[in-house]
Amino acid sequence: MQAGTLAVVRRPRPLPAIVPIGLTVVVLAILGVHGFASARNVTNLGLQGAILLMLSMPMTLVIMSEGLDLSAGAVLSLCSVAMALALAGGHGLSAALALSIAVGAAFGLGNGMLISLLGLPPFVVTLGTLGIAQGIALVLTDGNAVSGLGPAVSALYSRSLLGVPYPVLAALATWWLTHVLLYGTRFGNYVYAIGGNRDALVLAGARAWAWHVAVYVYMGCVVGFAALLLTGRMNAAHPTVAIGMEFDAIAAVVLGGTSFERGDGRLFGTAIGVATIAVLRNALDLLGVESSLQVVSIGVLIMVVIVIDSLRKARKSA
Amino acid sequence: MSGLRERALAAEAAPRERWRHRVGSENVALAFRIGLIAAIGIVLALSTDAFLSTANLLNVLRQASLMFLLASGLTLVIVAGGFDLSIAANLTLSACLAAAAIKSGSPWLGAAIALGSSVAVGVLNGFAVTLLRLPPFLATYAMLWILQGLAFHYMGGLEIYGFPAAFRALGTGFLLGIPVPVYLMGVVLLAATLFTRATNFGQELYTIGANRDAARLSGIPVGKRLLLVYVVSGLMAGIAALVFLARVNAADSGMGEPLLLPVIAAVLIGGTSLFGGVGSVLGTALGATILAMVINGMNLLDIKAQWQPLVVGVVLLAAVLADLMGRGRRERIG
């Protein structure tokens, strides 16, 4: 092996079960839901899916590294609150965005250090930081919404380029950036290795812990940036508004066929998972099904897809 | 060559390795927790007037017993190397489903509904973990949101309140001057301690949690044991739902959620290791008492409820770190 390179074997795998299921959902929505296929609704769908796509991309890397981030929704709320307080306090948009990204990165750093350096189980660590982020957001706002942000952030949110809204462009840019990081850099190879065989990475001379922390810091930075979309959409911030968004993001990653155990996964599958969830939620909205049952349907969808994937795997190995 | 390999891995694991050899004995750990309870008690007694009143102390015990009922099932799951994130949502759904029947004057029917639904959820969790071999936190996390969504849908944002006095005695009543839920805590504590210490079944849970492969090779039916542990966890959520309903006299779709973090923290503070195979229900009872005292103290000191998730989150992380320091990092299994 050449110095400084690490060969990672990526075997071709069958498409995850989400591809046919996702296509079915889309076809059913187009044929069966009145108003789904209108230009206006498609724009709406893109806007609704943008934050989810942004969160799901780094979440894919987190899950590939045998991790999990249950704190993403609470940290997103906190970042949005921080951004809104900065804007309401008369600071510029770039300063507010920098603050938001710094808050997200700090939580990512904390999560990463506890998980990587101390070897603590990710789901408990991020459950603890979920409580901390939610608590700080509640204490800062006294449980109320923050408004009076001025027009800057909502104006940016509603701009578009060649008919594509800025939030959708931002989400696609996150996909592209994550794609480049995962498939085109050493960092990407190490993400595969951390999930697959961490010891091998250490023996190859890489600082596994630092790269492992970097995965969570990247997650935190993207969450901090996603707060721009969340705040712009409402032109306000609420301390608990994004709680539960991490469930949709984790669902999208799992639906996309990324494994918790073997250090493999793919961004394309995650994107299909995001599209399926966004279409499902949008179509159910149009049909008048309330949000609580949408959550139930996503939970059931996860179970169904995992069962199908594990049955196929079992048949293959039998 | 193998020496090089060992050294490289050891150097990387050095920060963890340092903690690994500090092993405390069981009794020292229990004494430490009782000392912690005494310390928090002294601080609260000195800083507030109301803490030492009999009414308040009984109130702390009542709060501790509710958390303990949820936490005792979770303790067994974690000892066996699993996890159950769905307990609080399970409590919410079974309380909401049972509320209408209890309100209309059929508490036994209500109890049957609550226990039936919570046990059914436990069975589903158990199948997801054993038959489908899903990672426990993932399966029970998806279950959490399914149950939460169903509860929200069923209640439609409203609440059901006003239960018969006879039913409310389960949560608010006294027997010989001691709150009824505290007796429940005592019974569960005794039964679970006997079960884990004196039966083969109980011992097998520790073996499964410590080394699942070894447990399987030594002939323990791992799948069946794990399934039963998740069912017990579900059952305890149903019992806790009834006690909670009787105490607050109302059901709504957000009632269980604030319990999740404190209950997990209580289990970990009680000395149950997240890495499986180590822990006791007695420790969890002490952990629940510590958490109840902290929450009670925050109320007495007029600290706003908004601080609670922050404090509980810090306590949870501190408990995980204490687990790491006290026991040494165990190899993760399964």
Terminal alpha carbon distance of chain A:
34
Q: How far is CA B130 from CA B221, B332, B334, in A?
A: 11, 18, 12
Q: What is the pLDDT of residue A221?
A: 96
Is A318 part of a structural domain of the chain? no
Residues 103-132, chain A: which have Cβ within 8 Å of B? 114, 117-121, 123-125, 127-132
The DSSP secondary-structure symbol of A117 reads I
Residue B95 has pLDDT above 90, yes or no: yes
Cβ atoms B130, A229 nearer than 8 A: no
Domain count, chain A: 1
- Structural domain of residue A93, as residue ranges? 50-242
- Contact indicator for B145, A295 with CB cutoff of 8 Å: yes
Q: Which of B19, B77, B131, B317 would you mutate first to test chain A, the one with the most A CBs within 10 A? A: B317
CA distances from residue B253 to A134, A295, B155 in whole angstroms, order as listed: 19, 14, 6
How many Å apart are CA A47 and CA A159, to the nearest integer? 12
| pLDDT on residue A4 | 45
Does B97 fall in a domain? yes
pLDDT value of residue B4: 67
Residue B257 C-alpha, separation from nearest chain A C-alpha, in angstroms: 12
Give the pLDDT confidence of B270-310 residue by residue, as tens digits.
Answer: 888 888 888 889 989 999 999 999 989 888 888 888 888 89
pLDDT at A265 over 90: no
Angle at A78 between CA A72 and CA A83, to 5 degrees: 120
Determine, yes or no, domain membership for A196: yes
Q: Is the pLDDT of residue B131 over 70?
A: yes
CA distance B103 to chain A (A): 25
Report DSSP state, residue A116. I
CATH of the domain at B252: 1.10.3470
| % of chain A with per-residue pLDDT over 70 | 93
Tens digit of each residue's pLDDT (9 = 90 or more) over B205-251? 998 888 888 888 888 888 899 999 999 999 999 999 999 999 988 88
Q: Do A295 and B312 touch (CB under 8 A)?
A: no
* A70 domain-assigned: yes
Residue A3 within any structural domain of the chain: no
Residue A120 phi, psi dihedral angles, 5° rounding: -80, 150
Helix residue ranges per DSSP H, chain A: 18-32, 39-64, 72-88, 93-112, 122-141, 152-158, 166-184, 186-196, 198-203, 208-234, 245-255, 267-286, 291-317
pLDDT, tens digit (0-9, with 9 covering 90-100), for B39-71: 888 888 888 888 888 888 898 999 999 999 999
Q: Is residue B240 part of a domain?
A: yes
How many Å is the Cα radius of gyration of chain A? 20
Give domain status of residue B252, yes or no. Answer: yes
Distance, CA of A127 to CA of A134 (rounded, Å):
11
Residue A157 covered by a domain:
yes
Which value, in Å, is the radius of gyration of the alpha carbons in chain B? 21
Residue B8 lies in a domain: no
Q: What is the mean pLDDT of chain A?
A: 86
Q: How far is CA B149 from CA A238, A295, B38, B121, B242, in A?
A: 21, 6, 41, 14, 20
Do B149 and A293 lie within an 8 Å CB cutoff?
yes
Chain centroid to Cα B95, Å, comes to: 17
Give me the domain span that covers residue B112: 26-327
* pTM as predicted: 0.85
In a domain, A150, yes or no: yes
Is A247's CB within 8 Å of B261's CB? no
Which one, of A1, A3, A4, lies nearest residue A190 by Cα? A4
Res A3 pLDDT > 50? no
- Domains held by chain B: number: 1
The rounded distance, in Å, linking the Cα atoms of B161 and B99 is 8
Q: Is ipTM beyond 0.90?
A: no
Confidence tier at A25 by pLDDT (50, 70, 90):
confident
Q: Do B138 and A260 touch (CB under 8 A)?
A: yes
- From the list A136, A202, A208, which residue is nearest B310 (CB)? A136
Give the pLDDT score at B20.
Answer: 39
A37, part of any domain: no
Please indicate, yes or no, if residue A44 is contained in any of the structural domains. Answer: no
pLDDT in tens, A293-317: 888 988 888 888 887 877 777 766 6
Q: Could you give the CA distance from residue B196 to residue B206 in angstroms, rounded to a whole number?
A: 8
